[in-house]
Each structure stands twice: as C-alpha cells, then as structure tokens.
Amino acid sequence: MKALTPRFPHLLHGGDYNPDQWLDRPDILEKDIELMKEAHINCVSVGIFSWAKLEPKEGEYHLDWLQEIIDRLYRNGIYTVLATPSGAKPVWMSEKYPEIRRVSRELRRDETGGRHNHCYTSPLYREKVKAIDRKLAERFASHPGVILWHLSNEYGGVCYCPLCQAAFREWLKKKYGTLEELNHQWWTDFWSHTYTDWEQIHAPMPNGETGTHGLNLDWKRFCTDQVIDFMKLERDTVKAVNPELPVTTNFMYYFDDYNYGKFRDELDVISWDSYPWWKAGDNSDTAAQVALWHDVMRSLKKQPFLLMESTPSMTNWTPVSRLKRPGMHMAQCMQAIAHGSNSIQYFQFRKSRGSTEKFHGAVVDHYGGSDTRVFRDVTEVGERLEALDSLSHSEIKPQAAILFDTENGWALKDAAGPRNCGIHYVETVQQHYKALWKQGIGMDVIDEEGDLSGYKLVIAPMLYLLRGGIEEKLRRFVENGGTLVGTYLTGLVNENDLCHLGGWPGAGLRELFGVWNESTDGLWDGEKNTLCTDGKTYEVSELCALIHGEGAKVLGTYGEDFYQNEPAFTVNEFGKGKAYYIAARTEDRFCDDLYHELAERLELKKALNSDPPRGVEACLRETEETRYLFLQNFSGEEKNVSLPAGYHTFPGGEEKKQITLPPYGSAVLQGSTK
C-alpha cells in the first residue's frame, strides 16, 4: 500500500498550528517548538486561516514569515501539512468585492465576517484563490518538510447568488439536454410547474419552489459538483507545481450539505474532524456513532484516513464544555487508529488569546506550560503512536458492509410521507451498524456507488432511492453467494425520485427479495406493533410495511392490528445467496439477535472469541506479521475482557488471557498473524 504522506510515511501526531496569531511573540514561537517535541508531536497543519497575513494588501504577498515557520519546524523534525487559505477571506477582499460573499436562501447577501462563507462560483474569488495557492505552491510544494496539502477548511454551505443559479441552469442543461426531459424527470405537470424557458428555473427556496423533489435533489447534486469544481481548481493549481505532493480536505461529522462520496476520486487522502459529545457515564452510543463515521471515512477510498482535527480536551461550541474523564482522551484516539486513522491531530496546538475560540481546548493552554493534565494526555498519545508506527502500512478489509448513502438520505428526508415526524434514516443505519459493532465485527460503510465484491454480508437499510446501478450490484452479490439484509422502504424511487411502477421494491429487487411491498403504515410516536419470529416477540414501531411473500420464506409475522399474522420478516434464496427482508422498524434486540445468527452462520471475523462486554469496543488492525487488538471501554464502568490466545500487552509485554479495563480505559494488545 502506498503511504498517505510519502515524504513522511509515519503515523502523524499534532494538529492545527496558527503561529500567524503570535508573530509578534518570537518567544512564544520558540517555546512552541520545545513543547511540540515534549509532546511527541511530529506534524502540524499551518496556514489554514492566514490569508490576511499572506496577502495583507491586494497582490502584495508576504510569505517569508511562513517560510521561517516551516523551516524551523522541519529543522526540529516536525512536518507541515500546508493549507490553502480559502476558508476565510481577508476583510479587504470581502469589502472590495461583494460578489465573493455568499447569498442566503432568502436571497440576502452576507456582510463581511465569519468564515466558510464564500461563493464557490464567483470567478473573482476563484481568481484570487488561484493566485494565492500558486504563490504558496511555488514557494513550498517542494519543501522537504511539507508533506500534504490541506485544501481550504471544512468546505460547507450553499450559495444562492445569481452566478450560482446561472451555473445551476448550465448544469441542468448538461444533465437533461432538453426542457422536455427535465420536465418529465421532475414530474412538473404536477401543480402546473412546467418550465418553458431555462431562465425560469431557480434553486429551491422557502418562498419559492420546495415541492419538486427532482429539483431539490438536483440542486444538492449541483452544490456538491460545484464545491468539487472549486476544490479541483485549488488542487490543480498546487499540483501544477508539484504533482507528487498529495492533497486532502477535512470533512465533517454527519455532514450532508454535499455528497462526500463524490470527492472520493478527487482527493489523494481522506481526512475528517471529529468532536464527539462525551459525557459522564455510559458513552457507548456516542462511541458507536463515531466508529461508524470513522468507517465511512476509511471506506471512501478503502484506505487509511487521517483524523485531521479533534479536541485534546474540551470543545467550546457545544452546549456545555465537558472535560474528558480520565482515560477518555487515549480511548478516543485509539478508537480512531483502530478504525484506520493514520493520525491524531488536534484543534489546536496553542489556544488563541482572543475571539470566539479562545476557550476551545488546545494542547497548550493560556497558562503556557506542559505541567497540565491535557498536555500529559497528549504526550502519552504521542508516545503510543510512535510505538504503533508500523500500523501506518496496514490495510483493513472487513467481511461485512453497510450501505449508507447521502443521496438516499436527502430523498428520504424530502419524501413527504410515510412518516414526516421522523423518518430516521441515519438512526436506522446506526442501529444495524451497532449490532455488529457490539460483537467486535469490523465493517465498511459504503454508498450505492460502492463495490460489493469481497463481502460476505451487505446490510442495506431503507434503500429507498436506487442509483449507481445498485440494484444490479445487489442481484449479482446475492447470486454469487452473498447475504443481503434489506428493510421496509426499499426500492421506492429511481435516481431522480420518480416512483418505480409495477410494485415495490422496484427495479428487479422484488424478485431478489421475493416479496411485494404493497403499502407502508406510518405509526404515530408511541404506537407499537410486534414481530413474532422463532417463538420470540419483538416490538416494532414507526414504519410497518405490508408485504406479500412471492417465493420468500416467511420467518416472522406481525402480532397485532389488521395485518396481524401477515409477513413481517422473510428470507429469499436467490442464486447461491440469501436476501432477508425486514418489513418493520424493530427494537435493537431484533438486530442484535439477527446479526448474531448471521455472524455465526457466515463465520464473520470477530476481534474476540465472544462478544466484548457491554460498552467495550474491540477492533483489529493488522499488518502482514502483526495483529493489533484495540480495546476501548466506553461504558463508564470497570470491565474484564477475556482475550483470545496469543496476545501480549503492548509494546512487547507478557501474554495475557484476560485484561481489566477501568472506566474509559483502553488497551492495545499485540499478536502474531502467523
């Protein structure tokens, strides 16, 4: 496997470093280096919000200060992830060129201020970004200390300015060719919303069109493509100077302004920023949510990723700023590594003295010394990463995958029925994911464009919108012996949100699952039914599909209501494989039991011989010779974990049969793969 950062092919430890806020304090800049070395920091991200220091006046570039910083870091064995500064525009630029400021859904142009709020289309902003990016690349892209480009920061949001809307119309012309085709795909005869001129098309807006689902989807797709186009401009500018230096951009948690899947082939490295809301007590739900998102990031390119930001202590934008309980920092960091991260990076190295993030956690506090709890926690992680360095070359190849598709999520949110008070797509994906996570089974989290070959089990909850040829891939997967689990609301609409005709699940999935879903009952909050299977009864709620078996074997039936005794859970033999259909939203216990049975039947690889104790996460990450077992106790209570044979405490310790983890304790154990 190719290293993520070939110039420094190691696990990275460090984070955002903003020396531009301290240029008048050379003593502090000196001290920073000393403290970084003490904390075993080997890599920092520089220049993310430095544009005003780099180009204080239009066309006047000041790069010497940055050169000094990068040189000094390098001399001291600390590598630089260099940012392009497009995430925050200088005040002079914003005031001089209103065009670069974003326009809101209410068609009001932003005033100067904030960040991450530029127009992605503005030719003027693009020109300015290109100019500064080129200057940075010419000066630093061949610097031996610079290992990666950090393009902008957390691309996000949408602009409704006339330039963006005009670009949207061009995008639509390319997609549909004719207005007739667009009108047909958007079903605009409904309410007489037929377009007779391209200029009549506007972005979906609260006081305009919101009910044309094809329009809503296409607008989001356009916004994704537009931000990627902007990102490519940045990427191609820096790559023109040195094509070898890899690029990344930092993604966010459960962020669906854009479809991150579309960035997959445009970036060399995937990275993301993780800020879990830990509390006291049991944190296993939060841990499972973060685990899923780590797996989303790793699965994008099916290679290790970078944790680009996390807080070493507290987060200041959350409702409360909880300090991490003892042990939690290491547990959180090891969780990221266990799921495939090749870095632990923080926001930020030194706390800002003023402005809105002055109380956000940082490695170095306003106090300035290293004798703090946070600094000790960070140092311990640095030492651990050095010991784990061989992992940077490992691959993770799970045998199970869950489909989680952003565009499907957009369409479900917009579906208008059968449950407008909460369709709960993300929660359902999370529920199924957690049932395997609890067993210590590694998973990929892929979207409808993903490749299904190589998995034994594919779980596809609420696969409502079919796109990217997924129906064919699912058929082939099962035909060749795979096991598929699908649910209610599968295969209702095509990629433009037009309903499949002729019975759901559409597009041939009816044959695959061997069921016909005639209708779906949306239940009010608090209403319940039951699913009875194999002598057991499980509670179901929220969504109950009324299905007819068409070749599938009925495994479970409804317990109540006018559809009592009708099928609620089925399995269909298809080719060499099996397709399960769960017709109703079940309680967790159902998923736990189902996935235990499937894990056993399919002999899915587990991190331990049996389930880890409740709240303990168990993951494996392997190199050719060594298997690392990661255990993180998120339960808030002490737990004993029995270990499979052949594991030693890490690094290089004694063989263990059992290990005791204190609340939020974590452990890494080492075994041989031979």
Binding site for ligand GLA (CB under 6 A): 153-154, 273, 275, 309, 315, 317, 347, 357, 360
Q: Residue 291 binds which entry of ligand GLA, Zn ion, none, with Cβ cut-offs from 5 to 8 Å by kind?
A: none
Residues 6+ apart with CB under 8 A from 365: 351, 372, 374, 375
- Residue 316 CB, shortest distance to ligand GLA, in Å, is 7
The sheet carrying 250-251 orders its strands as 250-251, 271-273, 306-309
Min dist. Cβ of residue 151 to ligand GLA (A): 13
Per CB under 5 A, the segment of 67-75, 152-160, 196-204, 283-291 that binds Zn ion is 152-160
Q: Distance between terminal CA atoms of the chain?
A: 20
**Regarding beta strands 567-574 and 553-558, do their DSSP bridges make them parallel or antiparallel, or are they unpaired?**
antiparallel
Tally Cβ neighbours within 10 Å of residue 183: 17
- Token pair for 521: 């009952």
Q: Which residues pair with 570 in a beta bridge?
A: 554, 581
- Residues 111-130 binding Zn ion (CB under 5 A) are 119, 121
Tokens of 230: 């902007």
d(CA 631, CA 618): 5
| Smallest separation, CB 103 to Zn ion (Å) | 6
* CA triple 425-543-546, angle to 5 deg: 130
Window contacting Zn ion (CB under 5 A); options: 162-170, 226-234, 289-297, 365-373: 162-170
The residue behind tokens 């200057």 is: 135
Examine residue 388 and tell whether it contacts Zn ion (CB under 5 A). Answer: no
Burial class (CB in 10 A: 0-12, 13-18, 19+), 633: buried
Decide: is 223 part of the binding site for Zn ion (CB under 5 A).
no
Of 102 and 456, which CB lies nearer to ligand GLA in the complex structure? 102
The residue whose two tokens read 């433009």 is 496
Query: What is the Cα–Cα distance from 242 to 146, expressed in whole angstroms?
Result: 11
Decide which of Zn ion, ligand GLA, none touches 153; Cβ closer than 5 to 8 Å per partner kind: ligand GLA
Shortest distance in whole angstroms from residue 311 CB to ligand GLA: 6
Closest distance to Zn ion from the beta carbon of 257 (Å)? 14
Distance CA 415, CA 188 (A): 16
d(CA 171, CA 467): 19
Least distance in angstroms from the C-beta of 506 to ligand GLA: 40
User: Please, what is the minimum distance in Å from the beta carbon of residue 48 to ligand GLA?
Assistant: 7
For 343, the token pair is 């870095």
- Strands 306-309 and 271-273, by their bridges, are parallel
Residue 368 beta carbon to ligand GLA: minimum distance, rounded to whole angstroms: 21
100 binds Zn ion (CB under 5 A): no
146 - beta bridge partners? 80
Cα gap 143→412, rounded to integer Å: 47
Residue 2 CB neighbour total at 10 angstroms: 9
446 binds Zn ion (CB under 5 A): no
Using CB atoms within 10 Å of the CB of residue 654, give its burial: 0 to 12 exposed, 13 to 18 middle, 19+ buried.
exposed
309 is catalytic: yes
Which of 356, 610 has the CB closer to ligand GLA?
356
Q: Which is nearer to ligand GLA, 309 or 447 (CB)?
A: 309
How far apart are CB 15 and ligand GLA at their closest, in Å?
Answer: 10
Q: Which of ligand GLA, Zn ion, none sits in contact with 254, Cβ below 5 to 8 A by type? A: none
Taking CB under 5 A as the binding criterion, the range among 81-89, 161-169, 283-291, 335-343 that sits at the site for Zn ion is: 161-169
Residues 527-586 within binding reach of Zn ion (CB under 5 A): none
What secondary structure, in 3-state letters, does 403-424 show?
ECCHHHHHHHHCCCCCCCCCCC
Among 43, 78, 88, 159, binds Zn ion (CB under 5 A): 159
Report in angstroms how near the CB of residue 93 gets to Zn ion at its nearest.
15
Judged by CB, which is closer to Zn ion: 125, or 563?
125
- Interface residue with Zn ion among 63, 66, 78, 161 (CB under 5 A) is 161
Q: Which of the residues 55, 154, 407, 617 is marked catalytic?
A: 154
164 binds, among ligand GLA, Zn ion, none (CB under 5 to 8 A by kind): Zn ion
Q: Which does 309 bind (CB under 5 to 8 A by kind): Zn ion, ligand GLA, none?
A: ligand GLA
**Smaller CB distance to ligand GLA: residue 308 or 619?**
308
Cβ-Cβ contacts under 8 Å for 324 (sequence gap 6 or more): 278, 313, 314, 332, 377
Q: Is there a catalytic annotation at residue 60?
A: no
CA angle 386/22/145 to nearest 5° reads: 40
Interaction of residue 158 with Zn ion, rule CB under 5 A: no
164 lines the binding site for Zn ion (CB under 5 A) = yes
Residue 510's binding partner, choosing from Zn ion, ligand GLA, none, with beta-carbon cut-off 5 to 8 A by kind? none
Reduced to 3 states (helix: H, G, I; strand: E, B; else coil), residue 187 is coil
Which residue is listed with tokens 């209403």? 527
In angstroms, the CA 22 to CA 561 distance is 68
650 binds, among Zn ion, ligand GLA, none (CB under 5 to 8 A by kind): none
Nearer to ligand GLA, 352 or 623 (CB): 352
Is the CB of 191 or the CB of 317 nearer to ligand GLA? 317
Which of 590, 347, 584, 398 is closest to 489 using CA atoms? 584
Question: Among residues 256 and 593, whose Cβ is nearest to ligand GLA?
Answer: 256
Report yes or no: 606 and 440 within 8 Å, Cβ to Cβ.
yes
Give the C-alpha separation, 393 to 501, whole Å. Answer: 49
161 binds, among ligand GLA, Zn ion, none (CB under 5 to 8 A by kind): Zn ion
Which is the catalytic residue, given 309, 407, 471, 617? Answer: 309
Q: Report d(CA 372, CA 366) in Å as an integer.
A: 11
- In the complex with ligand GLA, the residue whose CB is nearer, 153 or 185, is 153
Q: Taking CB within 5 to 8 Å according to partner kind, which of Zn ion, ligand GLA, none is near residue 140?
A: none
- Cβ nearer to ligand GLA, comparing 154 with 209: 154
Closest CB to ligand GLA: residue number:
273
Give the residue numbers annotated as catalytic, written as ranges: 154, 309
Q: Binding residues for Zn ion, per CB under 5 A? A: 119, 121, 159, 161, 163-164
